[in-house]
Amino acid sequence: MAKLDWQTEEEAGWDDLPPPPPPRPRRPRRWPWLLIIVAAAALVAYLAATRVQQRVNAAAANVEADVRAGDGLLYSALQAGDEELLRGRLSGRDAAWTDTQLVLAQERLALGDAARLFGFLPRPGARTIFTVTLSPELDEALVAVDQRYVLTTTGQLTQNITLRQELIYRPGAAGWLLAPPADENAYWGTWYASSGRYLTVQYPGRDAAFAERLALDLDAQISVLCRRVECAPDYHVLLRLERNQASILRLSDPRFLLDGDNDISLPAPSLVGLPVDDAGYQALSRAYAALVTQATIVRLTEWECCARVAFYRAFLAWELRALGLQPWPLVAASYIRLLDLPLDAPQLEALWQVDDPAGITPTQQALAYALLEFLLGVPGESALPADLLASGSDIRGSASFWGWVNSISEYDRRSAGALAADWAAYVFAQARARQTAAAQAPRPGLPNQDVLALCRDDRWRLLRYDPAGGAWDNLYTFSYDQATGVALPDDSGLLLLDFEDDLSRMRTVLWRPSESLVVADAASDPLVFPDWQGAGDPAGQLVTVWQVSRSERGGGQTSLLDLASCTPAGCRLQAMPGYPTWSPGGAYLLALDYGRLTLSLGTREGGAWTTVADQAISPFWLDEQTYGFVQGVDRRQSNDLVLRRVGDQSARTLLSASDLQAALPPERQGNGLVIVQAVPLPDRPEAFLVLTAGRPFPAGGIFEITRPDPAVDWWASEITITWRSTSDDLSYAGGATVTPDGRWLDAYVLSGESRRQVFYNLAQDELVLRSVVNERSQFQSVDYSADGQWLVRLHAGYLELLHPGRDEIYREAVFYDYDECTAVVWTDRE
């Protein structure tokens, strides 16, 4: 057994052991620092990236805001019709594209307005940007715009539709500008085709989803037509949906789709606006179907454009309504416009001879619609019989208007008078019935005034019509057999004449809502008769009358009646040497003696009159000190427009008719001109209009006279003459005014053998309304409201309220059941 030498720990000789080797130095740990560095770098990178992204987002947001601002400026330029501003909002990289945009804008077909050609009316203020998509380089923006429209269904109901259109913008020196696609082929995509039994549709890939569905619907629509009229076995139509905006302009051509061509080109839906829902698809596809069906009918009837085109269009409209593709074009307002025209056989016979679609006004076209409706019955209840459809409703084969009329009715040339009478009564009845039943367009704000009318049933009465409530009230009942009246110049009432034909009994009555004062009667000397010569005293105190002295046989004298002086004993009268034309402030007035053609100057206080011109007509005021007149009345010779100043014996011949003729374009130089009237512009003191008649008659025109430097008055200024408009069938006849906003010229013209009132849109240089004047009323048959915003006109059987708005004229007919009415005015409410 081994012997072990055990020792305790205390006994062991530990101190004798060699010392342990020194520890090896440890390498420092680097990885925590690396982690810290990496984390810090990541944090810095993250923060930098975030800041960069924020800056990118901020830059993109700023760019998007700039794009939206550029779109707003473009839209504002379009709304204002400002070509110079619009040109500045268009890219100039493609001159042809830019020119097309300007033409589209001029025709009111730019951007979303192209949908007008499909029957969609843009709702004002209902245009919104849906999205703005920016390119990565922020050098291009695709802007999706939603436009809401109103259209009329075949049941004459209104429907709201939204179409979405994509616009391209690129940056330019003046901001973001509307631009064409950089690559047309890449933007629109490959061409495709879809074919059916009767129809092939070619379309760009961009519109494939819409076009494929449209092709099926159109083919089915043509099938319906071919079941009614036997189509040839190989009958086929090619429809191409064009990506070129020139296709919009072609569609606006009145002759388009009337030439019977098999190949039809229409704007692609992307140019008009793509529907955002199924209701929009149904509406837009129905509009395309109407256009394609119209072209198909033209071909099937073998009609050659454009004989008797107004009546052939009426026939087409009848068929499209029967097929459920378009509403019948006549609405309540259409019949009111028809009442502007002579509803007689010569008017219809003349329209039958017209073979130029561009030469037919909307109102003339409505004549054809109304006659077809009168002869055939309610449109849309049934389509035309197949034999009439096949022959173009006999329009193609009829040599004369009466031959066509007799082919579809019992009327013929021998019963022309009966046709005219029956048709005119029908139009009037339709106008009244539909005006009552139809929902009115939103009415502009009414003045704080009522309409007063002199009308007769069993007795003559002064009636009040409340435009807001539509109620009639009897205010005053006349005692005798005849009645006339004119408005007081302050619109507080009327000066009435109640009389017998032989004047054995008569009385002149100053009528206001609060009083009725007899100021003259059959025993008075002089006799006092109300007289109306347009604008009255600006101060509202003096009213024009005609006084006749009992001591004089026949004749009489124009006078001013002082309303403030009137008592039961009479009124103070101030004799005048002629009919007055007041200065703007009412301190001075010109008096024109229509018999001697002498012009005199005086003051409202009366006293001496100064003769300032002979052989003068049409006096006017440019300001409180400067007045003018037309001198020389022989239509065979040129005449002059002359200016004078109050207190100055000298005169300035500002221009002559030959000066105006020199301003005409070359093609108009052949006709001579005669100056008829000068018309001040309320919103532009540096300019006025001159209206002319033709020599030979009619060929009238409108010219604008401007002083280049408004700081120089008319007496010393040079002038610029600008031709605005001429018409081959109108001759201006005086009595013209301009509405307070300066946008509308309200004038009287001679057209053929009738006198008409016309409204000319000065902002658009467009004649908008041409209405026959009520010649039966020899008294005040028209009157403007105190604010100048509303006009009331008297017609046989109805009053008409007109509001010349920014671009259009609101019209409303108020039918009455009285035997006749002879005067109408606006007056203040109590």
- Asked whether residue 635 falls in the same domain as residue 763, the answer is yes
In a domain, 105, yes or no: yes
Q: What is the CATH number of the domain that holds 712?
A: 2.120.10.30
Q: Is residue 216 a part of any domain in this protein?
A: no
**Residue that the structure tokens 């715009």 belong to:** 145
Residue 464: name the closest of 8, 30, 814 by CA: 814
Global pTM value: 0.73
pLDDT exceeds 80 at position 389: no
Q: Helix, strand, or coil here: 150? A: strand
Does 127 fall in a domain?
Answer: yes
pLDDT for the residue 206: 95
pLDDT tens digit sequence for 413-434: 888 889 988 998 999 888 888 8
285/302 Cα distance (integer angstroms): 26
The tokens describing 609, both together, are 């009159």
Six token digits for residue 255: 């002759």
Mean of pLDDT over the chain: 85
Of 114, 95, 102, nearest to 74 by C-alpha is 102
Q: For residue 103, give Cα distances in angstroms to 172, 274, 348, 360, 807.
A: 22, 23, 34, 22, 19
Q: Is residue 381 part of a domain?
A: yes
Among candidate residues 722, 740, 768, the one where a domain is terminated: 768
Asked if pLDDT for residue 627 goes beyond 50, the answer is yes
| CB distance 573 to 560 below 8 Å | yes
Residue 388 lies in a domain: yes
Look at residues 131, 151, 182 and tell me which one is the last residue of a structural domain: 182
Is 415 inside any structural domain? yes
Crossing angle (nearest 10°) for helices 345-352 and 401-408: 110
Token pair recorded at residue 417: 């008078």
| Residue 689 binned pLDDT confidence (cut-offs 50, 70, 90) | very high
CATH classification of the domain holding 127: 3.10.450
In this structure, are 760 and 627 located in the same domain?
yes
Q: How far apart are CA 588 and CA 580, in angstroms?
A: 10
Please give the average per-residue pLDDT across 424-446, as a whole number: 78
Segment 312-366, tens digit of pLDDT: 999 899 889 888 899 999 888 888 888 887 788 888 998 999 999 988 888 889 9
Structural domain tally of the chain? 3
Q: Which of 768, 793, 809 is the last residue of a domain?
A: 768
How far CA 566 is from CA of 259, 485, 488, 540, 572, in Å, comes to 72, 17, 13, 14, 7
pLDDT at res. 10: 43
pLDDT of residue 166: 95
Domain encompassing residue 429: 302-437
3-state secondary structure of 807: coil
| Average pLDDT of span 278-300 | 93
DSSP tag of 294: H
Predicted confidence at residue 2, as pLDDT, reads 45
Q: Would residue 9 count as lying in a domain?
A: no
**Lowest-confidence segment of 148-152, 374-378, 397-401 by average pLDDT:** 397-401
At residue 3, the pLDDT reads 47
Query: Is 116 inside a domain boundary?
Result: yes
Those residues with Cβ within 8 angstroms of residue 178's Cβ, 6 or more apart along the chain or in another chain: 70, 74, 89, 90, 91, 101, 167, 168, 169
Separation of alpha carbons 487 and 780, rounded Å: 8
